[in-house]
Amino acid sequence: MSITELPSLAGCRVWQVDLDAAPAPQFVAALSAPEEERACRFVFKRDGERFVAAHAALRDTLSALTGIPAALLDFTQGPFGKPALAGVPSLRFNLSHCRSFALIAVCERAEVGVDIELLRPMPDAEALALACFTQSEHEALAAVAPAARERAFLTCWTRKEACLKATGAGLSADTRSFEVGISPDDREVEIATADGVLRLALCSFAVAHDAVCAVARVLPRDAAPASRRAAERGMVSA
């Protein structure tokens, strides 16, 4: 198991994990019984081994940050299944893995979501975009050259996923209700929830040529929108 910390993204610490490198035995031994049971349910052995490596890496990372032994880390779940670290409410994290890659994002006192997908042929991209993207996102995707369409689709998809994972709602929310775009630009996103409008800092990035990744962090409710901050900076400089 190889863990590499990336530069800070969207105000979060992010680690890349090579899931085909064997994890240290002490971190495999630290997995909980439910984690071991989930690993055993995979049809293919390599998928189970990668699941073990991803969760061993998560325990390794969180143990280093909290000083709590990996085997003693206790996880709880939110209403839609998002895990949290029991006893350390200020530390928020998220894990995403796809084939041989995993990403771990951690943030202090702000919910975070991360997602990774690897480029692949997507014959159903048009239908998925129609069902999951906003009208403007769908129209923008249709205008992209066919050779670049899979990357553009997965850019938008990972951005949607990262935002929803940060809110804790997962795919229970309507992905057509908020705009993230098909380009890998940094931006703030607004999502309407039952508790009001949430704003998130969103960033797309890559860990390899064929990887499409995104991370999102929920912003404080009292933080000024980026547009207002930019306007205020302009007034000061003027």
Q: What is the pLDDT of residues 182-202, one digit of tens each?
A: 999 999 999 988 778 999 999
Residue 233, pLDDT > 60, answer no
Q: How far is CA 199 from CA 39, 190, 193, 196, in A?
A: 35, 5, 10, 10
Output the CA torsion sign for 126, 206, 179, 145. negative
Q: DSSP for 30-87?
A: T--HHHHHHHHT-SSHHHHHHHHHHHHHHHHHHHHHH---GGG--EEE-TTS-EEETT
**Residue 172's pLDDT band (cuts 50, 70, 90):** low
pLDDT one-digit tens code per residue, 50-91: 999 999 999 999 999 999 999 999 999 887 788 999 999 899
Please report the pLDDT score of residue 170 as a whole number: 65
Which helix (H) or strand (E) segment is 163 a member of?
helix 149-167
- Determine which helix (DSSP H) or strand (DSSP E) holds 128, and give its type and residue range: helix 125-132
State pLDDT tens for residues 123-162. Answer: 999 999 999 999 999 999 999 999 999 999 999 999 999 9
Diameter over CA atoms, the chain: 63
Evaluate whether 13 touches 5 at the Cβ level (below 8 Å).
yes
Token code pair at residue 43? 């049809």
Q: What is the DSSP letter of 174?
A: -
| Alpha-carbon span 178 to 163, nearest angstrom | 10
Among 181, 186, 188, which residue's Cα sits nearest to residue 227?
A: 188
The pLDDT > 90 percentage for the chain reads: 80
Q: Are 116 and 81 in contact (CB under 8 A)?
A: no
Give percent of the chain with pLDDT exceeding 70. 91
What pLDDT score was predicted for residue 224? 53
Q: Could you tell me which residues come within 8 angstroms of residue 137 by beta carbon, excluding any fewer than 6 positions away?
A: 129, 156, 179, 180, 181, 182
Model pTM?
0.91
Half-sphere exposure of 106 (CA within 13 A, CB side): 21
Please identify which residue in the block is written with the tokens 């991803």.
54
Confidence of residue 232 (pLDDT cuts 50, 70, 90): very low
**Residue 229 binned pLDDT confidence (cut-offs 50, 70, 90):** very low
- Which residue has better confidence, 234 or 126? 126
Question: Are 211 and 101 a contacting pair, CB within 8 Å?
Answer: yes
- Asked if residue 2 lies in contact with residue 17, where contact means CB atoms within 8 angstroms, the answer is yes
The band of 97, judged by pLDDT with boundaries at 50, 70 and 90, is: very high
